[in-house]
């Protein structure tokens, strides 16, 4: 399972979060898979945060109210995220959110 974090987010904002420099060898997620292509995040490709929230009841309540909240986000390869059109983006959100829910329960 890839590492996840939180990103301040609001419904209808882009699910594409900040882009970062390539991970270093000592980064905790360097060996984790990109949840879009299943390859290791590694140290070559540029990582990007991908908002997959809401994944729990608190996030869901804030999401439905249209409020800003700390949404669950995962690190993926920027190139993988850029390849997704709107339909496939939402499919990826549903799949990854379910895996985060399962991993945290």
What is the mean pLDDT, run by run of 10 residues, along the chain of 105 residues?
82 93 94 93 95 88 92 94 92 88 74
The confidence score (pLDDT) of residue 99 equals 85
CA 10/CA 71 separation, integer angstroms: 8
Six token digits for residue 66: 């249209």
- pTM over the 0.95 mark: no
Q: Quick one: pLDDT at residue 37?
A: 94
Bridge-based pairing state of the strands 69-77 and 16-19: unpaired
Helix (H) or strand (E) segment spanning residue 61: helix 57-65
Report which DSSP code applies to 29: T
Q: What is the rounded CA–CA span in Å between residue 9 and residue 58?
A: 13
């Amino acid at each position: 399972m890839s590492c996840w974090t939180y990103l301040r987010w609001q419904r209808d904002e882009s699910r594409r979060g900040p882009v970062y420099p390539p991970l270093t060898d000592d980064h905790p997620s360097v060996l984790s898979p990109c949840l879009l292509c299943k390859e290791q995040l590694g140290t070559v490709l540029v990582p990007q945060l991908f908002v997959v929230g809401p994944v729990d009841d608190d996030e869901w309540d804030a999401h439905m109210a249209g409020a800003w909240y700390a949404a669950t986000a995962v690190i993926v390869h920027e190139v993988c995220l850029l390849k997704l059109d709107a339909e496939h983006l939402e499919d990826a959100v549903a799949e990854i959110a379910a895996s985060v829910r399962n991993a945290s329960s």
